[in-house]
């Protein structure tokens, strides 16, 4: 434990929970422990008075109408647990019979977060757990004993009963736990960590397994990841916009002040910051050549022999300019890679609206999670100091805080948003590789002069497959309740499934964004190199050299030929006098970080390693780190 977070039931933040999930320890606030002790003492007193209390002196769920007797109905034989009282047996049985999840274990960070959440809510002092039991739970977390909690088994009301029972059963010496890299029986893990087993008292089983800890843990870790993936998505969009030499007017502050959804405004500001300093964005249309296949006669200058492409423009003849004279006064009459239109396609122009809506969905989920982190979510709730209470029913109240619907619906919103973000990323990727839509770049971003190369063709297939898979998983679990406990629990949230799906989907969203960044870097290199090749021709000072890259008028039209050469000279001068074209400062920093690990693909090569590296760059936030460094930590 390098860090320690104090838990008091009232002030736990998402950032602190993530820190605990990654290995920080916890301490328990002494003032709140006194409140915890007061509630436990209250239950002891009510049991002494033989008051009927749900889950303490009655059965659970559909057995709530069955009062515990003073003696067993049937005596137990020698060697049995006859010495265990009925009240203790009730709590122990609740845990051991409810630990029935199946499937692969939840990741250790999720389980550590669950432990911290459960400790924090119990610190509020409305659950009846004893101080020593709560301290044992904290000691288990601090010692690095991580219960094995299979993924499947919670319906999200009454809370995450089955997963939380897998947490609690290890305290009793049962179940399984990970300790120092080994998967061990729970009792052995406790023993190796130097911890004692716990015997449960009044309501402690119910306090330990009744709550929303699994869905909340998954939700917090998912939102923590999504907040960085949202920044990565903005970065991927910015790199793609630079690769397209796109238009930035759609991101202007004044534009978004007219429709000020918070996420939309933030994304537009992010794009302006990421694209700041770009000389590719908003480049005049006529300066951008289009790709042409390399030929042996494409280049004559020694420095250009190694280029992987040829470049071309079309000249607009005089008879095609009627009614457009004003336009061709501002823009030279050459058509290259960029269409003469003032707006880009939706996947570029509408990034603030789409990315921003996803940000707003995540922000809404974060608001719900922040409330839940310091909420009491078990049942019944005890109010030992309630003023004016006349009988125990006014101090021990059965309510429904365990119901996970607030979290489930928030996660449903995010679950629907994730495929949206992945889908627009894949559309940008597809636009980059398709020669019909990539504004003059080569098909599949490869020269392919011998017709043997596929380039980035199948990268788009992979992105499309992931987007389809995400969309298939986006159906909200929260709309389909299946009653449990003999219809005592006749409406449940399925919030644990919802939050677990969202957490799993985050990893696949990161893969799509990694594929876009990988592809955009290739496109950015090609776009910049093609424009620089045109500038090199222009800097040679010979309009005739540049003219060979432009479709000329018919040879017998002397007047048109003269006008053509004069206009080519104008294009040459403008190219020669333009600065070197480069992406925005932040985009360039991300491009360099990517190129340090993945080389430009001049010819077809095995891409599996490159794709894995691109995904890892997103997972490890290395591109975001490079951007933040370039922007001074902004």
- Is 400 inside any structural domain? no
- Is 406 inside any structural domain? no
Q: Average model confidence (pLDDT) for the chain?
A: 92
Where in the sequence is the domain holding 517, given as residue range(s)?
Answer: 223-363+411-630
Three-state DSSP class for 310? Answer: strand
Query: Is residue 446 within 8 Å of 453, Cβ to Cβ?
Result: yes
Res. 576: pLDDT tops 70:
yes
Last residue of a domain, which of 165, 190, 211? 211
Which residue reads 């922007």 in tokens? 631
Last residue of a domain, which of 191, 211, 231? 211
pLDDT for the residue 140: 98
If you average pLDDT over residues 548-559, what whole number do you get?
Answer: 83
Please give the angle made by the CA atoms of 5, 6 and 10, to the nearest 5 degrees. Answer: 120
pLDDT for the residue 542: 82
Residues 427 and 532 in one domain: yes
Query: Is residue 94 within 8 Å of 60, Cβ to Cβ?
Result: yes
- pLDDT tens digits for 353-368? 999 999 999 999 999 9
Residues 332 and 477 in one domain: yes
Q: DSSP states of 336-392 as a string? A: -SS-S-S---HHHHTHHHHHHHHHHHHHHHHHHHHHHHT----SSEE-TT-TT--SG
Looking at residue 95, which CATH number applies to its domain?
A: 1.10.275.10
- Is 578 inside any structural domain? yes
Residues 273 and 229 in one domain: yes
Task: List C-alpha distances in Å: 17 to 2, 108, 115, 402, 454.
Answer: 14, 13, 10, 20, 46
- pLDDT tens digits for 385-430? 887 777 777 888 888 888 999 999 999 999 999 999 999 999 999 9
- Is 218 inside any structural domain? no
- pLDDT tens digits for 237-282? 999 999 999 999 999 999 999 999 999 999 999 999 999 999 999 9
Residues 136 and 101 in one domain: yes
Residues 259 and 191 in one domain: no
Is 179 in the active site? Answer: no
Residues 272 and 204 in one domain: no
Residues 316 and 451 in one domain: yes
Residues 243 and 191 in one domain: no
- Is 520 inside any structural domain? yes
pLDDT for the residue 620: 97
Number of domains the chain contains: 2
> Which stretches of 524-619 are assigned E, i.e. beta strand?
550-551
Residues 187 and 230 in one domain: no
Residues 312 and 452 in one domain: yes
Query: Is residue 512 within 8 Å of 270, Cβ to Cβ?
Result: no
How far is 422 from 428, CA to CA, in rounded Å? 10
Alpha helices per DSSP H over 434-557 = 457-472, 495-539, 543-547
3-state secondary structure 189-222: HHHHCCCCCCCCCCCHHHHHHCCCHHHHHHHHHH
pLDDT band of 634, cuts 50, 70, 90: low
Query: Is residue 199 within 8 Å of 145, Cβ to Cβ?
Result: no
- pLDDT tens digits for 500-530? 999 999 999 999 999 999 999 999 999 999 9
pLDDT band of 23, cuts 50, 70, 90: very high
Q: DSSP states of 134-174 as a string? A: HHHHHHHHHHT-EE--EEE---SSSSSHHHHHHHHHHHTT-
pTM for the model stands at 0.94
Smallest CA-to-CA distance from 159 within 478, 403, 351 is with: 403
How far is 578 from 581, CA to CA, in rounded Å? 8
If you average pLDDT over residues 187-196, what whole number do you get?
Answer: 98
Residues 33 and 78 in one domain: yes
Last residue of a domain, which of 211, 235, 268? 211
- Is 492 inside any structural domain? yes
Alpha helices per DSSP H over 454-494 = 457-472
How far is 568 from 543, CA to CA, in rounded Å? 6
Chain-centroid distance of CA 53 in Å reads 43
Residues 91 and 56 in one domain: yes
Q: Is 452 exposed, middle or buried (0-12, 13-18, 19+ CB in 10 A)?
A: exposed
- The token pair at 62 is 């559909």
How far is 458 from 441, CA to CA, in rounded Å? 17
How far is 317 from 90, CA to CA, in rounded Å? 91
- pLDDT tens digits for 49-75? 777 777 777 766 667 667 766 556 656
Query: Is residue 336 within 8 Å of 290, Cβ to Cβ?
Result: yes
Looking at residue 426, which CATH number applies to its domain?
A: 1.20.200.10
What is the number of other CB atoms lying within 10 angstroms of the CB of residue 553?
17
Query: Is residue 109 within 8 Å of 21, Cβ to Cβ?
Result: yes
54, 179, 285, 413: the active-site residue = 54
- Is 403 inside any structural domain? no
- Is 380 inside any structural domain? no
């Amino acid at each position: 434990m390098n860090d320690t977070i104090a838990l008091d039931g009232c002030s736990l933040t998402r950032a602190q929970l993530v820190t605990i999930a990654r290995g920080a320890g916890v301490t328990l606030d002494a003032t709140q422990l006194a409140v915890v002790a007061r509630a436990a003492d209250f239950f002891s007193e009510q049991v002494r008075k033989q008051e009927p209390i749900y889950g303490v002196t009655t059965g659970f769920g559909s057995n709530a109408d069955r009062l515990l007797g003073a003696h067993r109905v049937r005596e137990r034989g020698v060697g049995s647990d006859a010495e265990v009282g009925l009240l203790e047996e009730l709590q122990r049985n609740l845990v051991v019979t409810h630990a029935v999840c199946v499937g692969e274990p939840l990741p250790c960070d999720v389980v550590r977060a669950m432990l911290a959440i459960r400790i924090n809510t119990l610190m509020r002092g409305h659950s009846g757990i004893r101080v020593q039991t709560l301290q044992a739970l904290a000691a288990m977390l601090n010692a690095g004993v991580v219960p094995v909690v299979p993924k499947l088994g919670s319906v999200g009301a009454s809370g995450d009963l089955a997963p939380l029972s897998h947490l609690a059963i290890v305290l009793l010496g049962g179940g399984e736990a990970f300790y120092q890299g080994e998967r061990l029986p729970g009792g052995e893990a406790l023993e190796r960590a130097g911890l004692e087993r716990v015997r449960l008292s009044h309501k402690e089983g119910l306090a330990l397994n009744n709550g929303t800890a699994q869905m909340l843990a998954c939700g917090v870790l998912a939102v923590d990841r999504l907040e960085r993936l949202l920044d990565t998505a903005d970065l991927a969009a910015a790199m793609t916009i630079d690769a397209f030499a796109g238009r930035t007017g759609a991101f202007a502050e004044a534009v978004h002040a007219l429709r000020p959804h918070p996420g939309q405004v933030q994304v537009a500001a992010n794009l302006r910051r990421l694209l700041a300093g770009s000389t590719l964005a908003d480049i005049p249309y006529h300066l951008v050549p289009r790709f042409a296949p390399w030929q042996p006669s494409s280049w004559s200058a020694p420095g250009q022999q190694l280029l992987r492409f040829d470049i071309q423009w079309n000249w607009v003849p005089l008879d095609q300019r009627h009614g457009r004279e004003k336009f061709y006064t501002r823009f030279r009459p050459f058509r290259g890679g960029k269409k003469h239109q003032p707006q880009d396609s939706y996947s570029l122009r509408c990034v603030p609206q789409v990315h921003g809506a996803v940000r707003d969905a995540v922000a809404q989920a974060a608001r719900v999670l922040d409330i839940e982190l310091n909420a009491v979510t078990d049942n019944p709730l005890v109010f030992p100091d309630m003023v004016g209470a006349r009988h125990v029913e006014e101090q021990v109240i059965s309510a429904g805080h365990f119901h996970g619907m607030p979290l489930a619906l928030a996660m449903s919103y995010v679950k629907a948003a994730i495929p949206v973000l992945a889908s627009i990323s894949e559309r940008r990727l597809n636009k980059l590789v398709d020669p019909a839509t990539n504004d003059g770049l080569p098909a599949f971003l490869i020269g392919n002069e011998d017709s043997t190369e596929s380039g980035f063709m199948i990268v788009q297939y992979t992105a499309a497959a992931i987007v389809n898979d995400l969309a298939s998983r986006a159906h909200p679990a929260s709309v389909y309740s299946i009653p449990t406990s003999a219809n005592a629990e006749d409406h449940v949230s399925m919030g644990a499934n919802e939050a677990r799906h969202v957490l799993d989907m985050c990893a696949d969203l990161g893969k799509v964004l990694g594929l876009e960044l990988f592809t955009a870097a290739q496109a950015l290199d090609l776009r910049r190199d093609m424009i620089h090749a045109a500038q090199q021709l222009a800097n040679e000072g010979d309009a005739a050299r540049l003219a060979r890259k432009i479709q000329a008028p018919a040879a017998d039209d002397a007047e048109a030929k003269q006008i053509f050469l004069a206009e080519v000279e104008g294009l040459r001068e403008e190219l020669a006098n333009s600065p070197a074209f480069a992406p925005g400062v932040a985009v360039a920093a991300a491009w360099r970080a990517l190129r340090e690990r993945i080389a430009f693909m001049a010819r077809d090569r095995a891409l599996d390693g490159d794709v894995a590296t691109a995904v890892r760059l997103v997972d490890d936030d290395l591109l975001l780190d490079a951007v933040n460094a370039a922007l001074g930590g902004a």
